[in-house]
Structure 1
């Protein structure tokens, strides 16, 4: 019995493809597990795993619904397609009570379950009932940030960064210091127009609304530097409103507070530096 000369070659090609696929999936496993969210997110804070779980489960539910709908659609197209010689219309139904109840009741249940899980997760994320170890006030302003370390009674005042495109700009950004493993309560407000505090690596974004203070609590768990930015269009230099978040050990945090104190950055930068809202030009407004 003769064998095809191409069969060994095909086996090699199939094996190579299988190996490449396995390597690709192994390399992407972490990305898939975090739902293609930012690389620094998993374990960065006590809330990131909650957000990732909610995100992934929502996508799984959405894909399941999509597969069901696509499957039913293709089934109807194939089974009920018009065939040669068909001259009569299929049976026409004015209503079908069980079917109508199903496609009314099932979506309501699905939305209700999604709402319940979302509400529970968001309730945990914005819960501020625990006693914090550290209080920090973050103040947004066009187009930089002020950080008030309330317990240490020191502050940092940021200035607008010039984005030159050259290396080293990141080191000039305003830096918010957080102690690892401690419960930090961060309150947010703005000196002028609306801004938004966003740290992609923390999977955390909260608006800063004029005349209002928002707050959340967070426990940083991973040492390192995380990028932050304003996520609300706030005027001409919105893109320059960047900052860093530096998660350090509690000892390093206390040393940084001492540095601010020695540099004369004592006291807090209060509302006396806010812009008069009545004089804010509308074209640079709240976007």
Structure 2
């Protein structure tokens, strides 16, 4: 897995590792029982083994044992999910993310500036270290998926159904983001860069967007309006 870059990533990482440990434990148990049955009850002579129609203790075990396996997995998954998806805390920064065929638009709501990406001009998302960021996700065309692997977080971007989540970046660096939902002919081009920087550098970048005239917030575009690629039936869309 990528090196974690937010305060929330340990929750996801611990759950992922725990699920693998549980899977291997159950797997070894099942493989061991199968091997034991093959060896212990292998055919030794021509005598027909005793035929039974049911075995209440065994059937009870088969019913109850999975519950003891699934219940802890369900509990920890639900508990971690509630913590990861909790957006009740007031964020320091709000970024409105628009996913459109086939790039991304980032509206920095608190700064009243924006950056519009295209297929030929990959956008960069700037985030200050140590500050909680809420991403508000929306799409004007098809389902996309906003994914930053080093944040251990992926959220669908669904037309007519806004989604949101919060993270607190805790490691400066450059990270890759992408769309994780097949969304048309140029899905593979829906890439963006994430820069986790100091607060001063973040403010410098916001000032740079203002100086470039990228002020105000962009509404979700008409389908394909910012893609720099003609959208027609042969390319996975319609005029």
Query: TM-score, normalization: structure 1?
Result: 0.77
- The alignment's C-alpha RMSD in Å is 1.8
Matches within 5 A, 1:71-220: 71-83=32-44, 86-161=45-120, 173-220=122-169
- CA–CA separation in structure 2 for the residues paired with 1:108 and 1:256: 53
Q: What is residue 222 of structure 1 aligned with on the other side?
A: 171
Contact 1:155 1:268 in 2 (8 A): yes
- CA–CA separation in structure 1 for the residues paired with 2:233 and 2:47: 68
In the TM superposition, what whole-angstrom CA distance separates every residue of 1:80-120 from its partner, at most 9, and x where no partner exists?
Answer: 1112xx12122222222121111101112322221111111
Contact 2:100 2:140 in 1 (8 A): yes
Give 1 or 2 for the bigger CA radius of gyration: 1
Q: What is residue 165 of structure 1 aligned with on the other side?
A: none
- CA–CA separation in structure 1 for the residues paired with 2:167 and 2:232: 33
Contact 2:185 2:235 in 1 (8 A): no
Q: Secondary structure at the match of 1:93?
A: coil
1:193 CA displacement: 1.3
With over 3 angstroms needed to count, the CA separation of the structure-2 counterparts of 1:196 and 1:148, relative to structure 1, is same
1:280 CA displacement: 8.7
With over 3 angstroms needed to count, the CA separation of the structure-2 counterparts of 1:124 and 1:281, relative to structure 1, is farther
- CA–CA separation in structure 1 for the residues paired with 2:111 and 2:132: 15
- CA–CA separation in structure 2 for the residues paired with 1:184 and 1:259: 20
- CA–CA separation in structure 2 for the residues paired with 1:160 and 1:87: 72
- CA–CA separation in structure 2 for the residues paired with 1:191 and 1:227: 23
Structure 1 stretches of 4+ moved >4 Å: 279-283
Query: Whose RCO is larger (CA < 8 A, sep 6+)?
Result: 2
- CA–CA separation in structure 2 for the residues paired with 1:92 and 1:179: 70
Q: What is residue 284 of structure 1 aligned with on the other side?
A: 236
Q: What is residue 59 of structure 1 aligned with on the other side?
A: 20
Q: Secondary structure at the match of 2:159?
A: coil
- CA–CA separation in structure 2 for the residues paired with 1:262 and 1:152: 13
1:274 CA displacement: 3.2
Q: Secondary structure at the match of 1:88?
A: coil
Contact 1:227 1:244 in 2 (8 A): yes
Contact 2:137 2:162 in 1 (8 A): yes
Contact 1:192 1:280 in 2 (8 A): no
Q: What is residue 182 of structure 2 aligned with on the other side?
A: 233
- 1:249 pairs, out of 198, 206, 209, with 198
Q: What is residue 228 of structure 2 aligned with on the other side?
A: none
1:220 CA displacement: 0.2
5+ long unaligned stretches in structure 1: 1-36, 162-171
Contact 1:160 1:241 in 2 (8 A): yes
